[in-house]
Structure 1
């Protein structure tokens, strides 16, 4: 009987091997099952603790892309993705500045007006008065920095909520912009000028896009591994080397796929390259420097930060200065996209979209949680919806409804995450 059973088992194994469906050894099956179980358990603990990270917005973005691709096969075409990568830059830069303010648990309502002011300053200096482009560009950006600094210092010294002072700033900077533009109201930029090329220039050599992709993956590995080594040296929880490699590998896959698609149209857009460099630089500033830790500390608790002898006035002033600077740079990119500046610059839904991008991406409204990359993800969701609506000839009203629904869901998730973190003593 035993012999028959062994014979039957051997025959079955032989048949499985012959058919190419041989199952892995029991030890390997157990290892795979254990790894899956541990992964699910880890994800469940993260969800219960309110540490969802970027998972919700990535799922939303996937749903948006799959939906519009099913409605129109051109949605994920190289041409449309290339246009999308440029369209997210202007408002995305403003949203990155908003992230800094949200990390303090505050809100900057003046970024739209500051972006219009900076564009108007550049246009009047360069086009109307003949000031060299590089000098007009510097003055325009510094005007945004100055506006943000004034607001930040006022907030820090008076301790008036930021949304009140920046609401006053919204009106003030918009009025100054209208005064600068004068009676003409519209200034057309030089289509062959430096600012116009910010959104019209493409690196047509395929090697440039692939080289940037390789640098991105290498930078992610270097920064993540350095953080792992530092944490391990002081006995703090840290990622394993395998996790670092997997993360860098995932970024490499995304980066090289994007490079391949962009090269199938016109190549790597200069606007996208500048955007990613600024976002990466500010992310390092926030998460890997003493200044960044101060920002998160003040966002976690202003009173605790003061008791820890942190210079709260400096942090609040500098954060609003960063927000104003990014708004100015974003305004120049928006002006570059349409090669003109008018009385409507910085108005409309620009402010709403910038704030929505930061929140949808995962930056907490309660302060102390978020990164610059969350603004990129949020902006991708918003602009993907706008692009999908345009390419499928959907009425604009539906775009506002869908974007509003996504924003509402992001706020609810943020509130529930905060409550879960408080229950686990993490908030």
Structure 2
């Protein structure tokens, strides 16, 4: 082919040129090699996605497995999944407010107060456990809505309002627990079994993985059909089948490995289900697109007709509700509600998990998967150090270092996106 020869634009099955491939001045990659080149280009331009956290997680697992072969045993991994689910649910709410460039510093106190409220209403007052849980979640939503009201009506920074909420909610937690300071939950209740014992039957875990693969292919095929109808390029059926098949094979292998011990915890299954629902809402709904728009540029979103105040209210309400749910799960895990619930490193771990997982502190970038990946990193560090019988002080220092690296990577990636015109 001579230098003057032009490559004809790719055409649709109907013979019309595809709209996103019509400009011959733009390089369009095709095939496996093209996909690899496109991936390298995105990384070099600062669009890193989940790559840094996945690489970091592999390094952490390799180091701890080399130091202690028990680390990646099925029994330890099951315990790890039980432990990470409680803070993971709280971190999922943090992702919502970070996407808007905001913060909620009271999620730890909200989780502790929710666990105390459930204990008081259920054990001391005799309420049905389901009603007590709903009351805790409703109160969490009300608190989040109050934060949004302060932001929308008075312009109070979320840092200040949620810091005030942290102190006030902690005081309420101490007040309702009274002089005893703790409430033990009945060990013969389903809620305690859910947090400590219950795991999925083997066939359920395998079936859910197969369902996840089917859903991945169905959503991909639906998106491809829409792009074809709009005259845009789309992924082939073969590539969609390869993606879904790879996902199923990897997850089925993990399920098989966990089933060698106790199996996949139902609590972790709930956490993953919440992550998937949140990811779908963020990427496939008008509300999700509005979240990214407001986080990217609030004024531009307002001029585009987005109800910015409503978006803030929904994000803060959802964040506090998920914090309350995380507190309920923590109570079921510990079989108690105490004055120490929600204190310590719960607050910081929830925020750190969202940031380490890839959600930007600058707003407008992130995903629900950030909470899942980030909390796996944090809990892996904690589990590995515990198996090595090392001081918890090292866990704080290592987690702090990982958080600092994540923020630096995010800042550098943002600078690179700006320089490449992809911000």
Task: Give how far 1:199 is off.
Answer: 1.4
2:221 aligns with 225
1:124 aligns with 120
Q: Where does 1:21-420 land on structure 2 (aligned, <5 Å)?
A: 38-203=34-199, 205-236=201-232, 238-420=234-416
Task: Give how far 1:191 is off.
Answer: 1.4
Task: Give how far 1:138 is off.
Answer: 0.9
Task: Give how far 1:204 is off.
Answer: 5.5
Please tell me whether the aligned partners of residues 357 and 375 of structure 1 are also in contact (alpha carbons under 8 angstroms): yes
- Once the two structures are overlaid, the 10-residue window that deviates more, 402-411 or 216-225, is 216-225
Please tell me whether the aligned partners of residues 331 and 346 of structure 1 are also in contact (alpha carbons under 8 angstroms): yes
Quote the Cα distance in structure 1 between the aligned partners of 2:409 and 2:224: 29
Quote the Cα distance in structure 2 between the aligned partners of 1:213 and 1:45: 32
After superposition, the Cα gap between the structure-2 partners of 1:204 and 1:361, relative to the gap in structure 1 and judged at 3 Å, is closer
Task: Give how far 1:141 is off.
Answer: 1.3
Instruction: Show structure 1 runs of 5+ residues with no match.
Output: 1-33
Structure 1-normalised TM-score? 0.89
Instruction: Show structure 2 runs of 5+ residues with no match.
Output: 1-29
Where does structure 1 differ by over 3 angstroms across 4 or more consecutive aligned residues? 34-40, 235-243
C-alpha RMSD of matched pairs (Å):
1.6
2:26 aligns with none
Quote the Cα distance in structure 1 between the aligned partners of 2:85 and 2:272: 9
1:19 aligns with none
SS of alignment partner, residue 183 of structure 2: strand
2:27 aligns with none
Please tell me whether the aligned partners of residues 200 and 266 of structure 2 are also in contact (alpha carbons under 8 angstroms): no
Please tell me whether the aligned partners of residues 141 and 329 of structure 1 are also in contact (alpha carbons under 8 angstroms): yes
Task: Give how far 1:426 is off.
Answer: 1.9
Structure (1 or 2) with the greater helix fraction:
1
After superposition, the Cα gap between the structure-2 partners of 1:236 and 1:306, relative to the gap in structure 1 and judged at 3 Å, is farther
Task: Give how far 1:416 is off.
Answer: 0.9
Task: Give how far 1:130 is off.
Answer: 0.9
After superposition, the Cα gap between the structure-2 partners of 1:372 and 1:121, relative to the gap in structure 1 and judged at 3 Å, is same
1:227-272 CA deviation, whole Å, 9 max, x = no partner? 3332343345644433322322232123102210121111221101
Quote the Cα distance in structure 2 between the aligned partners of 1:394 and 1:246: 43
Quote the Cα distance in structure 2 between the aligned partners of 1:375 and 1:230: 30
SS of alignment partner, residue 202 of structure 1: coil
After superposition, the Cα gap between the structure-2 partners of 1:243 and 1:159, relative to the gap in structure 1 and judged at 3 Å, is farther
